[in-house]
Amino acid sequence: MERLKSDYNGFNLHVYEKNERAIRFYIKHQFEIRTKEFEAETQEYEYFMKWDSN
């Protein structure tokens, strides 16, 4: 994770709401949940998460 942060100014990702372990991991690394979306294809809710260097 630190390598990504040193190489990029920002990073976006999607995580399924039910993947609580991944959500905790990304929040620990300063990602923020920006939106909650329903993914029609999988019938699951997912979070759009974002990390910014500033």
Pinpoint the alpha helices (H) of 1-54: 2-7, 20-28
pLDDT at site 2: 80
User: Is 0.85 surpassed by the pTM of this model?
Assistant: no
5 phi and psi angles, rounded to 5 deg: -65, -35
| Phi/psi at 46 (5° precision) | -140, 155
pLDDT at position 18 is 97
Tokens 């699951």 correspond to 44
In this model, does residue 1 exceed pLDDT 90? no
pLDDT band, very low/low/confident/very high, at 4 (cuts 50, 70, 90)? confident
**Exposure of 31 by Cβ count < 10 A (0-12 exposed, 13-18 middle, 19+ buried)?**
buried
**What tens digit of pLDDT does each residue of 17-42 get?**
999 999 999 999 999 999 999 999 99
For the chain, the domains span 2-52
